[in-house]
Amino acid sequence: MRAVVQCASKARVDIEGQTVGEIGGGYVILLGVGHADTEAQADKLWAKISKLRVFPDENGKTNLSLRDVGGDVLVVSQFTLFASCKKGNRPSFTDAGAPDEAERLYEYFVSLARQDVERVETGRFGAMMDVSLVNHGPFTLVLDTDAL
């Protein structure tokens, strides 16, 4: 499982001109599910993300977690995080999870976030989405459960 985690002061997802998810300050998580991923990877990834200390404290040091700052979360499915560009110029997505299982694990990950965070918004799995955010910092992390 892979995630791009961005600290945002605000973010939203629009589908066909309609806002389907919107947050204030917190995380935007672009989440990719691989073909070998299970609930264990989702558990591991959320455990890491929920405890990250990347928000500034009173001294400006990145020392506070999402919980410490009362932040929101916006989770957006992003199968393209498993793109391979090794051969040719057109990405291959053979490492991405099968849609049904990837959606199930995406929803499972969202349920984990909802256990810990008061406001969790989402995009729509498989939809063409317009994601807008103000990246605060900017602070962006790329996490892969294979490397955690």
The residues annotated as belonging to the active site are: 78-80
Q: Which residues contact 109 (CB under 8 A, 6 or more apart)?
A: 1, 31, 42, 45, 46, 75
Q: Give CA–CA dist 139/124, Å, rounded.
A: 24
What spatial distance separates the first Cα and last Cα of the chain, rounded to whole Å? 10
Which of 16, 21, 46 has the alpha carbon at shortest distance from 122?
Answer: 21
Which residue type, as a one-letter code, is found at position 90? Answer: R
CB 32 within 8 A of CB 146: no
List, in sequence order, the alpha helices (H) in 7-57: 39-51
CB 62 within 8 A of CB 140: no
